[in-house]
């Protein structure tokens, strides 16, 4: 539930085999894992029935043996109905500690 002006907190629980991360206008893995959703890309809050600034954070309930991370380097352009490859630089840490991403956020699906 979103209590304006605090950021929206809604959890979606998904079983996955890899993380698929946005890279468009983002500079690093950290920015992709905690993506600011604002400007033209604001999040629609179902409680408030309006668009609000939000942060899309990826939290994991457990860590797999191997974590695949896929970068969404191709984006769809609605105006031209074509795809564009994102070729901007993207930074990764030398060492990635995903333990800080572990969270026991409850969800109805699990």
Footprint of Zn ion (CB under 5 A) = 2, 45, 47-48
Take residue 27 and report the two structure tokens written for it. 């500079």
Residue 96's Cβ-side half-sphere holds a number of Cα atoms within 13 Å equal to: 14
Which single residue brings its beta carbon nearest to Zn ion?
A: 2
Closer to Zn ion at the Cβ: 47 or 88?
Answer: 47
Minimum CB–partner distance for residue 39 and Zn ion (Å): 17
CB of 58 to Zn ion, least distance (A): 20
SS3 77: strand
Query: Does residue 110 have a cis peptide bond before it, meaning omega lies within 30 degrees of 0?
Result: no
Minimum Å distance from CB 9 to Zn ion?
A: 9
């Amino acid at each position: 539930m979103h209590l304006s002006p605090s950021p929206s907190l809604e959890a979606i629980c998904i079983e996955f085999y890899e993380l698929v991360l946005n890279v468009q206008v983002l500079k690093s893995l950290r920015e992709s894992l905690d993506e600011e959703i604002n400007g033209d890309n604001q999040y629609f809050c179902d409680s408030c029935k309006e668009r609000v600034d939000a942060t899309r954070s990826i939290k994991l309930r457990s860590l797999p043996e191997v974590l695949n991370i896929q970068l969404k380097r191709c984006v769809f352009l609605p105006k031209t109905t074509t795809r564009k490859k994102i070729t901007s630089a993207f930074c990764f840490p030398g060492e990635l500690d995903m333990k800080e991403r572990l969270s026991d956020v409850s969800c109805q699906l699990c």
